[in-house]
Chains A and B, each alone.
Chain A
Amino acid sequence: MLAEFFFLLRKAGLKVSITEYLTLLEALRARLASLSVDEFYFLSRATLIKDEALFDRFDQVFGEHFRGIEQLFDAVSGAVPEDWLQRQAELLLSEEERARIESLGGFDALMEALRERLREQDGQHHGGNKWIGTGGTSPFGNSGYHPEGVRMGGRGRNRRAVKVWEKREFRNLDDSLELGTRNIKLALRRLRRFAREGAADQLDLPGTIDSTARNGGMLDIRMVPERHNAVKVLLFLDVGGSMDDHVRVCEELFSAARSEFKHLEYYYFHNFLYESVWKDNRRRHAERIPTTEVLKRYGADYRVIIVGDATMSPYEITYPGGSVEHWNDEPGHVWLRRLLSAYPHAVWLNPEPQRRWAYTPSAQITRELMHERMYPLTLAGLDEAIRGLRRPVPVTAVTPETVD
C-alpha cells in the first residue's frame, strides 16, 4: 500500500527519493504515527515533501490514494459503533442544532435511519440526496449541505471538520516551476554584476604582500570585502490572451530568475504597459498598482526585463483608449517611454518566433520603441538580451505633445 502511494507521488511529478521513503518507513517503525490518518499525513508530508509549493500536489495525491481506502472501510463496516457516533454528534453539533435534530424525531431516530441506510447501501456513492458518500444533500456522509448532517469518517475534532489535505490551503503556493530551468539560470548568471560591499572580511593577498614588503617584512594584513552579486532586476510579464501559448516558457524564466537574483521584483500587465500593473493574477482587477508608483519605488540601477509577445492591434500602443481591457488616458507608448527613461537598461523578450515579428506591426512598433532591443525567448536570445542589458538605451525625453 505504501509502495503504491510512493509511486503515485512520483507519477504526479513529485521527486520523492528512496532515501525519503525509507526514512518514512523508519519513522513508522518508531511508532511516530500509529493511530490516526492525520498523524500519518503530517508525518509523510514532513518526510517526503521539502517544498511548500509542492504541498498542494501532495495533498491531492494523498486524498486520491487514501479516499478510496476510507470508502472501502465505510462500505464494509455496516455496523457503526454507537459511542463513536455519539461522540461525533457531541463534538460537531451545537446546542441549537441538537435541538433541531430532536425536532426531526430525536437523535436515536436519526441514527436508526443511518444504520438502515448503511445496510441498504452497496458500493460507493457521490452526490444525490439519500445515499452515504461525498457531496449531496443526504444527512449522512461528508462535504454535504444538509444542516443536520452527520459527518462520516475522519476525526471531526476541533474545527477540523474538513480533512487537512482536503482544505488544500497550500494551493496558492504552487506557483513555481523547476523543470529545465537550469540552462536559463546559467544564461541569467551572465547578468551578475559583482561589487565589493560591506565589511572587510577577506584576505587581500596581493595587498598584504605589497604592504608587508613596504613595512620592512613585518606582517601587515590587508582585508577587503567579499564580492557580491549586486544586480537588481525588475520583471514585467504579459499575461492572458495570446500569451497563453507561452505560459510554460515564461514560468520557467520566472522560476529561474527568482532563484538567480536576490533583488527581483515582478509585475504583470496585459498586452501593453499602461498606467497600472498588478502583482497577483487572481486579483488583477481588484489590486492594481499605479505604474508611476513602480517607477518611483525602484532606483535607476534596476535592470528591466519585459516579457510579452507584443502581438495586438497597433492602436493598443499608439492611441489613448486603445487598450482592450479598459480606457487608458495616455497611449501605451508614452508609458513605455517613461519606463525606458527611468530605467535605461531594459530589454524586451518575445516568446513569438523571430521570423513572425516582421508580419506583426505591433511587434515592429514595440521593437522601435525599445531601440531594437527585442530578443526572442530562446537561450541564444536570452544571451543576447543579457548583453543588451549591459549598455543603456539612449535617453529620449517624454515630450509634452506625446502626453496630451
Chain B
Amino acid sequence: MTTTRFEGTDRYVATEDLMMAVNAAITLGRPVLIKGEPGTGKTQLAEEIAAALQRPLLEWHIKSTTKAQQGLYEYDAVARLRDSQLGDDRVKDIANYIRKGRLWEAFESEVQPVLLIDEIDKADIEFPNDLLRELDRMEFHVYETGETIAARHRPIIVITSNNEKELPDAFLRRCFFHYISFPDKQTMQDIVEVHFPGLKQTLLREALNAFYDVRDVPGLKKKPSTSELLDWIKLLLAEDIPPEALRAEDRRAAIPPLHGALLKNEQDVHLFEQLVFMHRRGNR
C-alpha cells in the first residue's frame, strides 16, 4: 500500500491537529472520531478525504432507529415469507434475502474505501458496542449462510458525533479523536476564501465582524456556524449588498441584512431584535 497523507483540499481548510488525527487513523487503520459544533464540516471531512486520496466514499447515516446489524447485513425474512406464500423459486436460496450493509460493501471494496459513519450518537446507547469487534478485526460472520466476511483493505473509517449521547469507553479506546473547535477569525477567513475566491476584502471583513457579533449574543438557541456564514455570504453576493450596509456606526444597533440565513429559529430572531431594540433605547 502506498503511503497516503491527507493535507486538506482546495475546498477544505484542515488545521494541523485535524490532519494529524486523520493521518494517524489512515496509517494505523483505526477509525477516527470527529466531534464539534454542528456546521463545522464534520461530515464534509469524509468527502474531502475520499476526494483527496481518490478513494470511493461509502456513507452510513445513523438514525435513532439504526441497529448495528444493519451495517453488516439484513436478512429480509418478511420478503422470504411472502415469496414462500406466492410460491416463488427464489425462496430456496437464503442468500437471495441477505441484503448487504454499508460495512459489508466497504469490506468488499476493491480499493481501500473511505467509510463515513455519520452521527453515531443518534443511535441507541449500545450501538457502538455492537460494532467493536467488526471495527477491530474488520471481519464479521454471516450466520444465515455461514460465511465470514473479512475486509480486503482496512477501510478509512470516519465517525462523526454531535455529542448527544456519551459513547462507551471500550469504543473510544479504539478510535483516534479530534474535536473541531469553532474556527477563529483567521481560519474563518481562509475558509471563506476557499469557498468564494476573490471576495472583496472589505465585504469579507465586515461580514465576519457582523457574524462574530451575532455569535456573541447571549442565550441564542442555535449559534450560527460556518455553513450558515457561507450561505449568508452567498446571499450577500447574490443581492449585491455593499460592505457599508454591514457596518453600522455601532453594529449592535442594527440588524444585519438577510439575517434569516444566520438565525434559524424565530425565538433567536426575536431575542436578537429585542436586544437591538433595547440597545437603541439605551442609547437615546
Chain A residues contacting B21 (CB-CB under 8 Å) are 42, 46
CB distance from B16 to the nearest CB of A (A): 6
Chain B residues contacting A47 (CB-CB under 8 Å) are 24, 176-177
Contact partner, A55, options B16, B64, B164, B179, Cβ 8 Å: B179
Q: Is A129 an interface residue (CB 8 A)?
A: no
Chain A residues contacting B24 (CB-CB under 8 Å) are 27, 32, 43, 46-47
Nearest B residue (CB) for A203: B78
How distant is the Cα of A279 from the Cα of B219 in the complex, in angstroms?
7
Interface hits, A360-404 → B, CB 8 Å: none
Q: Is A34 an interface residue (CB 8 A)?
A: no
Q: Is A30 an interface residue (CB 8 A)?
A: yes
Nearest B residue (CB) for A286: B218
A-B contact number at CB 8 A? 85
How distant is the Cα of A30 from the Cα of B176 in the complex, in angstroms?
15
Chain A residues contacting B33 (CB-CB under 8 Å) are 50
Chain B residues contacting A23 (CB-CB under 8 Å) are 28, 30
Chain A residues contacting B283 (CB-CB under 8 Å) are none
Q: Is B175 an interface residue (CB 8 A)?
A: yes
Nearest B residue (CB) for A280: B218
Q: Known contacts A52-B35, A259-B165: does B20 contact A33 (CB below 8 Å)?
A: yes
Q: Is B2 an interface residue (CB 8 A)?
A: no
Q: Is A228 an interface residue (CB 8 A)?
A: yes
Chain B residues contacting A39 (CB-CB under 8 Å) are 16, 20
Interface stretch of the complex, out of B112-120, B166-174, B200-208? B166-174
Nearest B residue (CB) for A178: B166
Contact partner, B17, options A19, A46, A280, Cβ 8 Å: A46
* Cβ-defined contact, B186 with A159, below 8 A: yes
Nearest A residue (CB) for B77: A203
CB distance from A208 to the nearest CB of B (A): 10
Please, could you name 11 A-B residue pairs with CB atoms under 8 Å apart, sorted by A? A19-B173, A32-B23, A42-B17, A45-B17, A46-B176, A46-B178, A47-B177, A50-B33, A50-B172, A52-B35, A219-B82
Residues in A lying within 8 Å of B, measured CB to CB: 15, 17, 19-20, 23, 26-27, 30, 32-33, 38-39, 42-43, 45-47, 49-52, 55, 159, 164, 169-170, 178, 199, 201, 203, 218-219, 221, 226, 228, 259, 262, 279-280, 283, 286-287, 289, 293, 297
11 more A-B residue pairs beyond the given contacts A42-B20, A170-B179, A201-B65, with a C-beta to C-beta distance below 8 A? A23-B28, A27-B28, A42-B16, A42-B21, A46-B24, A46-B32, A52-B35, A55-B179, A199-B65, A226-B65, A293-B271
Residues in B lying within 8 Å of A, measured CB to CB: 16-17, 20-21, 23-24, 27-28, 30, 32-33, 35, 64-65, 78, 81-82, 85, 164-167, 169, 172-179, 181, 186, 218-219, 267, 271
